[in-house]
Amino acid sequence: MNNAKRMAKLLNELLDLGPKDIVSLLNHRQVVGKEILDHPTVQVLVQDGFPLLGFLGIINGFLLQTNDEIVVLKKPNKKLFRYADDFYSRDLIFEAVKTKLPRK
């Protein structure tokens, strides 16, 4: 089992134990400075001119150093899940998926 699959398994276990806690952590984005924006591994989202770092940006930045799979939160058999009113739904899962995100 590769690192992305192991991380998805761990995050799913935590999601089962405390879905609101894990989703709240995932929803948090921190505005970061140029030093973190330019970091060679973390994945920073620039939105409306602000560099934002989240939990999965750190995890997936690490994972991209060892393979081409990242961890995403999604609904089973559906497209990638993004922020919505039903974010605390019990049918959300973490999954390791192939990506074309560039390695920094």
Would you give the distance in Å from CA 29 to the centre of its chain? Answer: 11
Provide the residue-wise pLDDT of the chain in tens; the chain has 104 residues: 789 899 999 998 998 888 888 888 888 999 999 999 999 999 999 999 999 999 999 999 999 888 778 888 876 555 444 444 444 455 677 788 887 665 55
Q: Supply the pTM of this predicted model.
A: 0.77
Q: Among residues 65, 89, 92, 87, which one has the least CA distance to residue 8?
A: 92
The full set of domain ranges for the chain reads 3-96
Q: To which residue do tokens 């739904």 refer?
A: 89
Task: Give whole-number Cα distances, 12 to 24, 47, 95, in Å.
Answer: 14, 28, 9
